[in-house]
Structure formats: structure tokens, C-alpha cells
Amino acid sequence: MAWKLQCKKNPALLQKRPHIADRMGEAKRALAQKGRWLPSAVQFVVQPLEKPQDAQSRLRSKLRSRFSSAIHYKLKTGSAIRDLGCTVEEFLDYIAILFQPGMSWDNHGEWHLDHIEPLATFDLTDPEQVSNACHYTNIRPLWAKDNLARPRPRRVRAKTP
């Protein structure tokens, strides 16, 4: 706990840890020296302090986390899984059918589960839109470079009462 508090006050401390510095590549070291890159552990500690998230961002983050848990650990909890429209096993089979040549569950880091209609375009405070966003027909496997090259949509604002 004390280490986390020290990192919050001075994120550069984590960069001095040899086991982390050894894992950093040359490019990351150069960026770290310029103060443009922090190890992910520091980003995890610092990010909530720097960027207060709105309700839509928190909901998107929770949905992504639940999908990830369902895929990697076969956990079946949360509204994202309930709104999937099929069982986790059926979903995995569905995604496997959509694999492009070269894709497999063993190289999942090289491809992403992409929301065809991005989560940012839905009002995630509306249960009907959450159901549409999480439905298995809105998800496909896509190579990481292709997914990251897609244009980012404008975010939808939640309805005001």
C-alpha cells in the first residue's frame, strides 16, 4: 500500500525498479526519459487521478471488462453476458466461425473482438441500447491493426431527464 502512495506522489519511482526497466524496450526507454511514457502499473495508479470518467466511459469500461472475463476465464456474470443473446460457449463458436485466415484463440493478442457498431455510439444508460450493443451479432474478430485504424466515432451523450 505504501508503494502505491509513493507512486501516486512520484510516478517516476516505478521506472527506477530494475525488473520493470529490464522489460522496457529501447523505444519505451527513450519515451520514458522524455516523460511521455509510464509503465502500465503507474498508468493504472495515475489515470483515475488524472481523468475523471463520465458515466458513459465507466459503463463502456465495465462492458469491455465483462466481455474479456467471459472470453478468457469463462465467467458468466454481468449484464453484458446476459445481453449477449447466447451462451458463452455458443459465442466462442460464433466468433471462431468468423475467424479470418491466420486467426486462432492462441493468437488472440494479434486480433481484437470488435464491436461493429462501437460502444461509444450507444447511450449505455438505456437498457435497450445496452442490449443492442452487447448482442453477439454486433461483435466480430478483427485484426488489431485494422481495428485500431478504424475511425473513432463521436460519443453519444446520455439522455437528460
Region 100-121: mean pLDDT is: 88
Specify the range with the lowest mean pLDDT, choosing from 17-26, 54-63, 74-83, 86-95: 17-26
Please say whether the beta carbons of 60 and 124 come within 8 A. Answer: yes
Please say whether the beta carbons of 63 and 80 come within 8 A. Answer: yes
Nine-digit cell at 105? 484463440
Stated pTM of the model: 0.55
- Rounded Cα–Cα distance for residues 90 and 96 (Å): 10
| Amino acid, res. 86 | C
Region 112-131: mean pLDDT is: 84
| Predicted local confidence at residue 47, as pLDDT | 47
Proportion of the chain above pLDDT 70, given as a percent:
52
- Rounded Cα–Cα distance for residues 141 and 99 (Å): 6
Region 63-74: mean pLDDT is: 70
What band does 99 get if pLDDT is binned at 50, 70 and 90?
very high
- Rounded Cα–Cα distance for residues 126 and 139 (Å): 19
- Rounded Cα–Cα distance for residues 67 and 70 (Å): 5
| Predicted local confidence at residue 44, as pLDDT | 47
Region 48-61: mean pLDDT is: 60
Please say whether the beta carbons of 105 and 132 come within 8 A. Answer: no
Neighbours of 14 (CB within 10 A): 21
Tens digits of residue pLDDT in 5-37: 555 666 665 555 545 545 556 556 666 666 555
List C-alpha distances in Å: 8 to 22, 52, 68, 91. 22, 15, 27, 40
Name the residue with cell 455510439.
Answer: 121
Please say whether the beta carbons of 136 and 86 come within 8 A. Answer: yes
Region 74-90: mean pLDDT is: 73
Region 117-133: mean pLDDT is: 84
As beta bridge partners, residue 142 has 112
